[in-house]
């Protein structure tokens, strides 16, 4: 008998357990990349060290927030930037973001059409909650960064994946996208460069997607959090290509500026036809309800926007070597193939031989248990389009990648 059972009658305890159930909506809020960590913790409890290639956090490896940005944060705190910021963001933050978007992405954004958020993650919640009525749909890439699906379902909306073609460097399949549009579709999500596939979309494909959005009166949601992390081709931002289709951009400081723990990001609206006033007001209402994003961090991000950007080149050249190594090693392993990523820091290899596992999740968990390497199962990024894949980051130094892929290779050869 537990201590609690000693004090409460079993019938009472059963009744209380029945009453204290979470709301059903939380069942819809599942994000694979965080869930697998729980399995890794169990392994770690047994004293074994796990090589974690599951999370897109550069600062867990040999990358750090640039000194001028860290200094700006210390100065902000010392200059009493510790008050509540306006709900939509500090004016100087919004102006700096507008300058950055002009410089980096060649888009003119009115600072009044920018909202500071605590991570793009909060931005996703704002956008989805201001946009969707129950039963309404958002087109998301298949596979996709899973919080877009999780939060859409959480808000009683329906994420509809459109196919991205692995054979064609994971470019979106325009015909499939068109077929998935219904009278309930409200928006089309583009993540470029893409997580989990590492795809970088070509200009022609981007234009076609924007045109389709225009044809069917859809709002374009454009996640550009990896905008400067590209390896070969020049990237084109969605808003810079859109003349008359409204674009809600989501971007932030977690990846390019190497400050994921700061949780700083922004939403902007690029709306030449001026159609989105009410939805923008809806986003502002949600922003006001949560008071504000962190004030000193907003102030420090002004330095990130306006300061030197040469650290980005250093980061990208380091990552390019790790990307090359990752693609080569994965393609050498029998039973696995991997499309070369062109942006971000993820590879999304295909598992052709699950080695007796029934699903990609079981495959990934077996590798974790037997070889202590943590990847994320592909179906966690979309049941259909992520199936029989896994996602790895290529953020760690080559020695760690080498050890991880050696262990993966041993696993594949051992059965």
Ligand X SMILES: Cc1ncc(COP(=O)(O)O)c(C=O)c1O
Residues in contact with ligand X by the rule CB under 6 A = 56, 119-121, 145, 191, 195, 223, 225, 252, 254, 260, 265
Using the minimum distance from each CB to ligand X, give the nearer residue, 380 or 411.
Answer: 380
CB closer to ligand X, 237 vs 254: 254
Q: Which residue has the tokens 């040469």?
A: 310
Instruction: Give 149 or 223: the residue with its C-beta nearer to ligand X.
Output: 223
The H-or-E segment that residue 264 falls in is strand 264-270
Take residue 239 and report the two structure tokens written for it: 């808003």
Q: Output 73 or 333, the one with its CB closest to ligand X.
A: 73
Dihedrals phi, psi of 333, to nearest 5 degrees: -85, 125
**C-alpha to C-alpha distance for 88 and 85, rounded to whole angstroms:** 8
CB of 325 to ligand X, least distance (A): 21
CB 122 to ligand X: min, Å: 7
Nearer to ligand X (CB atom), residue 66 or residue 252: 252
Residues written for the chain: 415
Write down the least CB distance from residue 80 to ligand X, Å.
Answer: 26
Torsion angle in degrees (nearest 10) through CA of 132, 133, 135, 136: -40
Judge contact between 367 and 408, C-beta under 8 A. Answer: yes
Q: What is the nearest approach in angstroms of ligand X to the Cβ of residue 145?
A: 4
What is the smallest separation between the CB atom of 263 and ligand X, expressed in angstroms?
A: 7
Measured CA to CA, the distance from residue 284 to residue 105 in angstroms comes to: 24
Task: Report how far residue 258's alpha carbon sits from residue 338's, in angstroms, rounded to the nearest whole number.
Answer: 26
d(CA 314, CA 62): 12
Of 412, 69, 96, 107, which is closest to residue 266 (Cα–Cα)? 96
Nearer to ligand X, 152 or 372 (CB): 152
Place of tokens 């583009």: 190
Question: Taking the complex as a whole, how short is the minimal distance between the CB of residue 369 and ligand X, in angstroms?
Answer: 25
Give Cα 389 distance to the centre of its chain. Answer: 17
147 or 246: CB nearest ligand X: 147
- Residue closer to ligand X, measured from CB, 145 or 411: 145
**How far is the CA of 210 from the CAs of 6, 172, 174, 277, 333, in angstroms?**
64, 12, 11, 20, 38
Please say which residue, 120 or 127, places its beta carbon nearer to ligand X. Answer: 120
Q: What is the number of the residue whose Cβ is closest to ligand X? A: 119
Pick the closer one to ligand X by CB: 145 or 151.
145
The helix-helix angle for 398-413 and 310-332 (nearest 10°) equals: 20
Instruction: Write down the least CB distance from residue 226 to ligand X, Å.
Output: 7
Q: How far is the CB of 267 from ligand X (least distance, A)?
A: 11
Q: Least distance in Å: CB of 124 to ligand X?
A: 7
- Provide the minimum distance between the beta carbon of 33 and ligand X in the complex, in angstroms, as a whole number: 8
Q: Residue 221: in which H helix or E strand, if any?
A: strand 219-223
191 φ, ψ (degrees, to nearest 5):
-115, 110
- Give φ, ψ of 35 to 5 degrees: -65, -40
Residue 396 burial (CB count, 10 A): 22
Residues 309 and 314: their CA atoms lie apart, in Å, by 10
Q: Of all helices (H) and strands (E), which one includes residue 11?
A: helix 10-19
Q: How far is the CB of 123 from ligand X (least distance, A)?
A: 7
Q: How far apart are the C-alpha atoms of 209 and 227, rounded to whole Å?
A: 18
Burial class for 27, CB neighbours closer than 10 Å (0-12, 13-18, 19+): exposed
Compare residues 128 and 333 and give the one whose CB is closer to ligand X. 128
């Amino acid at each position: 008998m537990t201590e609690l059972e000693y004090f409460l009658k079993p019938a009472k305890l059963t009744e209380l357990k029945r009453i204290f159930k979470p709301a059903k909506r939380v069942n819809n809020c599942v994000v694979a990349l965080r869930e697998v960590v729980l399995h890794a913790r169990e392994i770690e409890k047994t004293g074994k060290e796990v090589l974690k290639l599951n999370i897109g956090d550069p600062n867990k490896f040999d990358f750090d927030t640039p000194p001028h940005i860290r200094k700006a944060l210390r100065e902000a705190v010392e200059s009493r930037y510790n008050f509540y910021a306006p709900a939509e963001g500090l004016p100087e933050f919004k102006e700096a973001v507008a300058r950055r978007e002009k410089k980096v992405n060649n888009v003119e954004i009115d600072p009044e059409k920018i909202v500071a958020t605590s991570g793009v993650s909060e931005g996703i919640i704002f956008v989805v909650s201001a946009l969707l009525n129950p039963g309404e749909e958002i087109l998301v890439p298949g596979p996709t960064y899973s919080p877009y699906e999780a939060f859409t379902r959480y808000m009683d909306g329906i994420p509809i994946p459109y196919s991205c073609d692995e054979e064609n460097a994971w470019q979106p399949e325009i015909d499939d996208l068109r077929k998935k549009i219904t009278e309930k579709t409200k928006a089309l999500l583009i993540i470029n460069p893409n997580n989990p596939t590492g795809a970088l979309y070509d200009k022609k494909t981007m234009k076609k997607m924007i045109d389709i959005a225009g044809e069917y009166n859809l709002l374009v949601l454009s996640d550009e959090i990896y905008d400067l992390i590209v390896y070969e081709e020049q990237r084109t931002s969605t808003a810079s290509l859109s003349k008359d289709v409204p674009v809600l951009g989501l971007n932030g400081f977690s990846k390019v500026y190497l400050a994921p723990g700061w949780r700083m990001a922004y939403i902007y609206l690029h709306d030449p036809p001026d159609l989105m006033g009410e939805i923008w007001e809806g986003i502002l209402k949600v922003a006001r309800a949560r008071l504000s994003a962190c004030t000193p961090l907003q102030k420090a991000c002004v330095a990130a926007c306006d300061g030197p950007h040469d650290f980005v080149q250093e980061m990208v050249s380091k990552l390019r070597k790790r990307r090359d190594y990752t693609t080569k090693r994965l393609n050498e392993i029998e039973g696995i193939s991997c499309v070369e990523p062109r942006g971000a820091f993820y590879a999304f290899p295909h598992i052709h031989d699950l080695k007796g596992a029934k699903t990609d999740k079981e495959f990934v968990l077996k590798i974790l248990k037997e070889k202590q390497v943590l990847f994320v199962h592909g179906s966690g990024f979309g049941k259909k389009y992520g199936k029989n894949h896994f996602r790895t980051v290529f953020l760690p130094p080559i020695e760690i990648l080498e050890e991880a892929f050696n262990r993966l290779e041993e696993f594949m050869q051992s059965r």
